[in-house]
Amino acid sequence: MPRSRSLILGLAVLAALGAVTAPAAQSDPAPGADVGVVGRPFQGTRPDGTVSGFLDAHNHVMADVAFGGNLICGDVHHPDGPAAALTDCHDHHPHGELAWFENFTRHRSPIGTHDPVGYPTFADWPAHDSLTHQAAYYKWIERAWRGGLRLMVNHLVANRQLCEIYPLKSQPCGEMDSIRLQARMMNDLVAFVDRENGGPGRGWLRIVRSEAEARQVIEGGRLAVLLGVETSEPFGCRQVLGVPLCTRASIDRGLDEMHALGVRSMFVCHKYDNALCGVRFDSDTQGVIVNAGNFLGTGRFWQARTCTGELSDNTATPAGVIPDPIAPLIPPLPVYPPAPHCNIHGLTALGEHMVRGMMARGMVIELDHMSVKAATRTLDILEQADYPGVVSSHSWSDPKLFPRIYALGGMVSQYGHGATQFTEEWRRSEPIRDQQGVSGYGFGIDANGIGGLPGPRGGGDPVTYPFTSADGSVTVQKYTMAQRTWDMNTDGMAHYGLMPDWIEDIRKVGGDEIVDDLLGGAEAYLRTWGAAEAHT
């Protein structure tokens, strides 16, 4: 592949991307002191019998082994500890000059530098705007759990194109091969945490395969992890010039395999049109890049029309927004009709087959990233069957679809914005949820998803340390690891472990009501999941 074409493709995929009790540790006089959250995490239920805890409906714990294994630097865990796990990629040394993916996603230029040393100094990473460094080290996940996280949907993620063009590889490029690997590694993480906490079954997290199992884990005070899949070519269902490269039989085999692995939630499409559905557009510079990726992967650019209804797929940006020297590398884009734009492609016959196959298995259908034409048809199918198992896990759908999701008994979780924007979006959705009698609210942090974490808010009434966790069970201190101490007010949510600090920042902006709603997030998701299972 010519060098310029490789760079185009690289830029194009940038944006595409049993019964339990609380762990013992009786000899520890201050459990959680090593992660700055001191005390015994809440276990049991609320007085009304519902579970209490935060929901992260969209995360990518094992993305460090995706995309060829050398794009996101640092491991989730390592037997030799953080000094071995939290190291930079080889191509980022000595000063980051060759880390073009990091430089572009963080600084919008392929040229730049950073301090590649992670542990113990953490001078430049992790950071809320550093998208290629590990954000979900297992001790950081533990801190989030101790601070109130009780249900995480961990989406196994892959991107064949990015893996193929990135020069350094240690893992397979096949999307389903990568997803299988990540599923195995999630089970390895559970076993690793168990060993640290006294043996099998004694760790603080569990992979769950049913609503009942998840409820039992959460009531026991642990973190329930549900496996999902977010990829552009599930089961090899790509298309080239409109010709699908999968069949109904291959979809059925794929769904059976994923279900056997423990996957209970899936996207039908992601950033690029595939053989199953058309996608919701990105806009501005990111849109130009992703559109180029759609062309390189499928043989055609997004095809848009002027929307005739109230729904839209964002504006398909014309040429002219890519900064030099990148602009000459992007193929000439088509001329689009006046906005608002809608993707002309909806849910294909193969896509309908996948949706119905997920329904038959009691799986949760992810509506995000579908074009409004595809999403509308999907909701039609679900409404005809009265099937409640549908979510928007990081609010990447037209908000005008949310009432239909809620009316079915589904769930909407908001992307992990900064405290001010997050609170504004929560308030905007409140009338819809009140109308449908829906309680509980979730977020989709998208850690390791090449999307950024919440930044520092600034302004008045900052987070003050120490503070009491939202559920009142523990005390949250500033988090120190090795030589670095993080502060939400200046660092934002630099890594997953600062989730309790971010929640406190949200409380400062939105008050106790929004935090109470967030504490009902896990229960809300379990209601949707359990109702979906009841249809099988």
pLDDT in tens, 377-428: 999 999 999 999 999 999 999 999 999 999 999 999 999 999 999 999 999 9
Q: What confidence category does residue 512 fall into, taking pLDDT thresholds of 50, 70 and 90? A: very high
> Bigger pLDDT: 2 or 219?
219
Q: Is the pLDDT of residue 157 over 50?
A: yes
**pLDDT value of residue 103:** 84
Determine contact, residues 395/373, Cβ cutoff 8 Å: no
Pick the more confident residue, 318 or 334. 334
Using pLDDT thresholds of 50, 70 and 90, give the confidence band for residue 186: very high
Quote the tokens at residue 395. 């609010």
Assess whether pLDDT exceeds 50 at residue 5: no
Locate 433 and state its tokens.
């949820």
Q: Are 505 and 465 in contact (CB under 8 A)?
A: no
Give yes or no for residue 241 having a pLDDT over 50. yes
Quote the mean pLDDT of the chain: 90
User: What is the pairing mode between strands 239-240 and 442-444?
Assistant: unpaired
Tokens 């080889």 map to which residue?
90
For residue 304, count other CB atoms closer than 10 A to its CB. Answer: 25
Helices 175-196 and 248-261 sit at what angle, rounded to 10 degrees?
10
Q: Are 263 and 231 in contact (CB under 8 A)?
A: no
DSSP state of 204: S
Residue 69 pLDDT class (50, 70, 90 cuts): confident
Q: Give the pLDDT of residue 20.
A: 35
Q: What ranges do the domains of the chain cover?
A: 3-533
Does pLDDT of 326 surpass 60?
Answer: no
What pTM did the predictor assign? 0.93
Query: What percentage of the chain carries pLDDT values higher than 90?
Result: 76
The answer on pLDDT for 183 being more than 90 is yes
Give tens-digit pLDDT for 437-452: 999 999 999 999 988 9
Neighbours of 213 (CB within 10 A): 17
Q: Which residue has better confidence, 102 or 199?
A: 199
Q: Six-digit token pair at 244?
A: 């699908």
pLDDT band at 17 (very low <50, low <70, confident <90, very high): very low
Q: Which neighbouring-strand residues pair with 343?
A: 304
User: Rounded mean pLDDT of 347-370?
Assistant: 98
Q: Which pair of tokens denotes residue 185?
A: 């590694």
Q: What is the per-residue pLDDT across 460-484, written as a single tens digit (0 to 9) for each? A: 999 999 999 999 999 999 999 999 9
CATH: 3.90.1200.10, 3.30.365.10, 3.40.50.2300, 3.20.20.140. Which one for 3-533?
Answer: 3.20.20.140
Q: What CA–CA distance (Å, rounded) separates 126 from 115?
A: 11
**Percentage of the chain modeled with pLDDT above 70:** 92
Whether residue 323 has pLDDT greater than 80? no
Tell me how far CA of residue 225 lies from CA of 67, 203, 264, in angstroms.
Answer: 22, 13, 11
Place of tokens 């005008």: 400
Distance of CA 283 to CAs 260, 280, 287, 318, 376, Å?
A: 37, 10, 4, 9, 21
Average pLDDT of 243-268? 97
Residue 41 CA to residue 511 CA, distance in Å, equals 22
| Residue 462: CB atoms within 10 Å | 16
Averaged pLDDT, 358-387: 98
* Complete edge-to-edge strand list for the sheet that includes strand 475-476: 37-38, 475-476, 467-468
Ramachandran angles phi, psi of 502, nearest 5°: -65, -40
Residue 527 predicted with pLDDT over 90: yes
Choose the weakest-confidence range: 17-21, 134-138, 275-279.
Answer: 17-21
Q: For residues 105 and 341, what is the distance between their CA atoms, to the nearest angstrom?
A: 26
Cα–Cα dist 278/377, whole Å: 12
pLDDT tops 80 at residue 19:
no
The stretch 48-66 carries a mean pLDDT of 95
Place of tokens 């590649």: 116
Is the confidence at residue 25, as pLDDT, over 50? no
For residue 529, report the phi and psi dihedrals to the nearest 5 degrees. Answer: -65, -50
Q: Mean pLDDT across the stretch 102-114? A: 82
What is the pLDDT at residue 276? 98
